Amino acid sequence: MPEPDFDAIVVGAGPAGCVAATLLARAGHQVVLIERGSTPGSKNLSGGVLYGRVLETVFPDYAAEAPVERRITKHTTTFLNADSAVSIDYWAKSLAKPVNAVTVLRAHFDEWLASQAEEAGAFLMAGVRVDELMVESGQVVGVRAGEDELRTRLVVAADGVNSFLARAVGLRGTPRQEQVALGVKGVLRMDPKTIEDRFGVRGGEGAAHAIVGDCTKGVAGGAFLYTNKSSLSLGVVMRLDDLIAKGFKSSDIFEHCYTHPGLAPYLDGGELIEYGSHLVAEGGLEMLGEVSSDGLIVIGEAVGLTINSGFAVRGMDLAIGSAIIAARLADAALRHGDTSAQALDYRQRLLGSYIGQDLKTYAKAPAFLHRNRLYSDYGMLAAEVFRGVFSLDTTPRQHLLKCAREAVRGSGVGYRKLLADGLAGVRSL
């Protein structure tokens, strides 16, 4: 066997790859981090709320040192109709300290993460696309990038939602259309004072809005509106099967959301300075395929690690968490000179961790979120209840319960479906 060029080759400099490369380099291994984008983050797109407690375990002062935008202390969940909306607001000062979540812009954030990997001793190769894995006698022994071959004792695939590497060795199949969503995102420039006045936040604090309903024209999914320092991140995430079935173009849905009268008070005057789209895994636990083979370990969204609870999209924190688990196991395997899947024992450790527990907790969420009534009827129903409460004329008032009963009767949803959906929601989310 020729001598390996590196102990570990990490493919993909997103959150998963950068953290894995940092930890393996800190442990004294020769690591190369390969990224196809000209700079880390240049090809990446997230809504942008990072639940960062897990990152703190690797970079304790990340919230002060990394290019983060705002500390999120306010979460708003909205049912949006064509001309009405019902929202729940949750604000808590305690979410600022310890920092629970921050907004990030990936072009800056991923670059910082990759620089931390370099500082730890990893060698960053940006602007290089890995074309395939080199496999000899069933063992992954390196990667090919164009004419170049790099040999290694272990490949860490952190190449994101499509993970051609994991698919090439049969660890994953092509995801089904209902297991992925298409996200379209725009960044709108806005001065910080306007942002703080409109979203009711101060200082470095920020708000995260999760919106369902008319913002996606009823397509299963939702919209997000997050505050950065001097910009807003606005996006729509639409389940691919429903988007195709309803025959809409994703750009038209984004345009509809961007110009929605219910969002205009937040967005007016914002200048669209960035626009892009990206797939996101939506299958949850059901999507988790095989996660390692001899000489290969797969982390982050490359194994489908995302959770969409309807209230929040989580992917970056799970990517980082899986990178930490994988790096620990890889370090031990490299030290013992055995990087077989059996020695790595990664699947068991991943499923036994809080990540595996969370995947199990939210395992029913994808099926629950397939109920189309969530994206149309319930927003109208909630608005109708509040219309009964707040719309005063000279007719006699009714108690809330009666308003609600009449709203249910008028909605066409029916008590049985309402009860079934309510129970399913409580059990899934």
Ligand X SMILES: Cc1cc2nc3c(=O)[nH]c(=O)nc-3n(C[C@H](O)[C@H](O)[C@H](O)COP(=O)(O)OP(=O)(O)OC[C@H]3O[C@@H](n4cnc5c(N)ncnc54)[C@H](O)[C@@H]3O)c2cc1C
Chain residues binding ligand X by CB under 6 A are 11-17, 34-37, 43-50, 129-130, 158-160, 183, 185, 235, 237, 278, 280, 300-302, 306, 313-317, 319
Minimum distance from CB of 415 to ligand X (Å)?
35
Rank residues 39 and 340 by Cβ distance to ligand X and give the closer one.
39
Given the complex with ligand X, which of 44 and 73 has the nearer CB atom?
A: 44
Give all strands (DSSP E) within 147-191, no chain letters: 148-157, 180-189
Nearer to ligand X, 133 or 407 (CB): 133
Which CB, 37 or 175, lies closer to ligand X? 37
Name the minimum Å distance from CB 270 to ligand X.
18
Say if CB 104 and CB 52 are below 8 A apart. Answer: no
Burial (CB < 10 A; 0-12, 13-18, 19+), residue 426, is exposed
Distance in Å, CB of 49 to ligand X, minimum: 4
State the Cα–Cα distance between residues 49 and 116, nearest whole angstrom. Answer: 20
* Distance in angstroms (rounded) separating the CA atoms of residues 56 and 48: 17
Minimum CB separation from ligand X for residue 411, in Å?
30
Q: Which helix (H) or strand (E) holds 232?
A: strand 231-239
Return d(Cα 398, Cα 124) in angstroms, integer: 67
Return the number of the residue (33 or 382) whose C-beta is nearest ligand X: 33
- By beta-carbon proximity to ligand X, the closer residue of 164 and 386 is 164
Amino acid found at 360: K
2 DSSP 8-state letter: P
Shortest Cβ 5–ligand X spacing (Å): 16
State which amino acid sits at residue 125: M
Q: Which two tokens stand for residue 185?
A: 């995102």
Task: Name, in order, each residue with C-beta under 8 angstroms of 296's C-beta and a sequence gap of 6 or more.
Answer: 133, 140, 154, 155, 156, 157, 165, 169, 171, 341
Residue among 32 and 316 whose Cβ is closer to ligand X:
316
d(C-alpha 360, C-alpha 31), whole Å: 33
Q: How far is the CB of 360 from ligand X (least distance, A)?
A: 18
**Smallest separation (angstroms) from ligand X to the CB of 326:** 11
Place of tokens 């306007």: 194
312 in Cβ contact with 210 (< 8 Å):
yes
Phi and psi, residue 350, nearest 5° = -65, -45
* Burial letters 362-401, b for 16+ CB under 10 A, else e: bebbbebbebebbbbbbbbbbbbbeebeeeeeeeeeeeee
What's the min distance (Å) between Cβ of 128 and ligand X? 7
Nearest to ligand X of 231, 411 (CB atom): 231
CB of 157 to ligand X, least distance (A): 9
Q: Are 147 and 253 in contact (CB under 8 A)?
A: no
Q: What are phi and psi of 227, to 5 degrees?
A: -95, 130
Output the residue with the shortest Cβ distance to ligand X: 315
Q: Name the residue nearer to ligand X (CB basis): 59 or 377.
A: 59
Smallest separation (angstroms) from ligand X to the CB of 276? 9
The gap from C-alpha 175 to its chain's centroid, in whole angstroms, comes to 17
Q: Which is nearer to ligand X, 49 or 288 (CB)?
A: 49
